[in-house]
Structure 1
Amino acid sequence: MNNSSDSGICLSTPQHMSIPVLMCLVYFMGFLLNVFSLWVFCCRMSSWSAGTILQFCLALSDALGAPVTPLIAVYFAMGNKWLFGKVLCTVTIVFVSSQFYGSTIFLTLISFHRYKAVVHFNKSSRMKDKSFIKKLCAGVWLFLITHSLVYGFGVPATKEGEVTHCLSFSQVSLTNSFFIISCVLVSIGFLLPLSISATCYFRVKNALTCLNITAKSLKVKLKSQRMIQMCLIIFTICFLPANIIGITATVMMKFYPEHCHTLHQLQTAYYASWIIAGLNCFLDPLLYCFGSQNFRDAFPSFHIKSTEPQQSDTEMTPNAEKITAV
């Protein structure tokens, strides 16, 4: 059925209640896990490595989506009617966008950090310098805030027909803004980080087959490879659907606006993909817990007794070179 108004505007359709319920559940539980992770970083770890700084920023970005999730849930429950004004719409977009693309960027930096530590372990690298990492993270946060504000003010809440919408494909007056911003964000915020993460993984994998290393150092390097692999898996599972659906919807919105039924299906799928993206908030704490010795050391009782020697995040590699912590 072509659900459109006399003016040619595709009228928004209410979302199924399972979407806001699942969204609130996923983001709330993820928020608790990341608040716990932030508490561990701040209160249980006496010293931070360069990798710890990256993990802290990842946990912080993961927690940003939860505070505005109730607003989105009410929006869906009210039949896609935004009741909170333009300012809160902009704030919601800023938080959601910062959480979404902050996670992809910091996952990529963690992968690149491990790549430098394994493949170039015998060379000096600024990725091992905590001072540089702090400046790098500050630059990333500046970029996230800037792009989120541009996004928020570029696609504000608008009244389409008799209903006010926020971040909806029914906002035909913002078609060009949606299209341009989506293309830029998918390119810079997803495709570029994904390419870097994938390159890091395959470079590390190839390095393990080429380097002449001992069994002990091989274990350390395999651990780094698994961490990069986990970052890549989280990256792909959580963020690939939202980016594909989002860019497809904006293309349909710009070039085929008369296909209302398809646009409604894409919008529902896009909102559902936010739930999948929220699973990132569950998976990233596992990255800290099982990929960082420093994180586990914050809880001595967490260790499982083993006859193997414990290896810290600054474990020695052959010829006395060190792998920097993650």
Structure 2
Amino acid sequence: MSNNSTCIQPSVISTTALPITYTFLCIVGLFGNSLSQWVFLTRIGKKTSTHIYLTHLVTANLLVCSTMPFIGIYFLKGFQWEYQSVKCTVVNFLGTLSMHVSMFVSLLILCWIAISRYATLMKKESAQETTSCYEKIFYGHLLRKFRQPAFAKKLCIYIWGVVLGVIVPIIVYYSVIEVTEGRASRCYNRQTELGATISQIAGLVGTTFIGFAFLVVLTSYSSFVSHLRKIRACTSIRERDLTYASVKRHLLVIQILLIVCFLPYSIFKPIFYVLNQREDSQQLNYLIEIKNILTCLASARSSTDPIIFLLLDKTFKKTLYNLIIQSSSPHTQTHS
């Protein structure tokens, strides 16, 4: 490996735009997700499976939002820090760990929300006499579990356990062995940004998983639309139009979320690993800049989720609206 290919120089995007963006996302994300978590835990009495999924999704969001300042500091000062310094190691470890744990926990939970919303549609359909035996078993027994709060709690705990059990050893190996094997003098360097063979293989597996999550949501949405067309062709469903519209909106929102935030990152990651093999310092700088921007876009989902909750959950929207009305009532009466 030549010195020319090892040396990378951050641009204004990395040293200025990314720190500002991460700081803004941190402030917005901590406020919005803390408020959302407070509403889910204290203001909603009867919690459905969706509320449980969203509670754990908010926890994952708070995890990554709390480490965004460290990530911003890395892009702001990382090219000045010594490579073997404690702050370089700590910031890289915390930032990489929280980002990946939050990303994969969120993806799994979004998949289960999509399945749960689809199960909501199929709840009554599976009880009809015209429903086939296969549909009764699949929709009536398997999908029904995703709508049960007790099952949702266990599933979320398993998600955290599996994700932490898989990612933590890889991140520890990346931080302790792969990164320390490099010979760079500064924290912001090629070895830190690329990783070595093990972390790159793990990155490709993770990219495949993102594609699988998108496929699950896309399949749920396509199956829903197909099922809805079949029902409308057979009978009138005016009394259920609101339920169908709600489920369709939920699946569509999750699908758009994955397309905008995760799909560009997952498409570019394999391209990034292939193109960085060339001994071209300038091209490597561009690739790393694009990778960091797409990573920031993926993490931005954690800060914008409270807005998504307003579209996904009617109870959350109603509760938040009532809180705003109650908080503004004393001021209105005093003014009068």
What is the TM-score normalised by the length of structure 1? 0.82
Contact 2:220 2:251 in 1 (8 A): yes
Aligned to 2:168: 149
Question: Shift in Å at residue 303 of structure 1?
Answer: 11
Asked if 2 retains the 8 angstrom alpha-carbon contact of 1:65 and 1:99, the reply is yes
Distance between the aligned counterparts of 1:152 and 1:176, measured in 2? 13
User: CA–CA distance in 2 between the matches of 1:303 and 1:23?
Assistant: 28
Report how many aligned residue pairs link the two structures: 295
Equivalent residue for 1:38?
37
Residue 128 of structure 1 aligns to a residue whose secondary structure is coil
CA–CA separation in structure 2 for the residues paired with 1:136 and 1:202:
24
Q: Aligned AA for 2:57?
A: L
% same residue: 18
1:14-35: CA deviations, max 9, x gaps? Answer: 2421121112212331221111
Q: Which amino acid aligns with 2:70?
A: L
> What SS class does the counterpart of residue 224 from structure 1 fall into?
helix
**C-alpha distance 219-267 of structure 1, shift in aligned 2 (>3 A):** same
Q: For residues 50 and 227 of structure 2, what CA distance do their matches in structure 1 show?
A: 21
Query: 3-state DSSP class of the match of 1:164?
Result: coil
Distance 1:215 1:40, change over 3 A: same
TM-score, length basis structure 2: 0.80
Helix, strand or coil at the partner of 1:258: coil
Q: Give the deviation of 1:79 after TM superposition.
A: 4.7
1:10 matched residue in structure 2: 6
> 1:67-101, CA deviations, whole angstroms, 9 ceiling, x for partnerless residues?
22222212211253465143443232111111222
What is the aligned counterpart of 2:113 among 110, 120, 124?
A: 110
Q: Which moved more, 1:223-232 or 1:243-252?
A: 243-252
Q: Cα RMSD over matched residues? A: 2.4
| Alpha carbons 1:289, 1:295 under 8 Å: kept | yes
> Distance between the aligned counterparts of 2:238 and 2:193, measured in 1?
60
Counterpart residue type for residue 7 of structure 2: L
Counterpart for residue 264 of structure 1: 285
* Structure 1 contact 107–231 (Cα < 8 Å) conserved: yes
**Amino acid aligned to 1:216:** E
Partner letter of residue 288 of structure 1? Answer: F
- CA 1:209–1:155 in 2, change beyond 3 Å: closer, same or farther? same
Q: Which has the larger radius of gyration?
A: 2
Q: Which position in structure 2 is the counterpart of 1:202?
A: 222
Q: Secondary structure at 1:61's aligned position in 2?
A: helix
- The answer on 1:228 being equivalent to 2:251 is yes
Structure 1 CA distance for aligned equivalents of residues 166 and 110 of structure 2: 18
Counterpart of 2:238 in structure 1 is: 215
Aligned residue type for 1:118? L
Letter in 2 for 1:296: K
Structure 1 stretches of 4+ moved >6 Å: none
Q: Deviations over 1:275-297 (max 9, x none)?
A: 32233134422232232122134
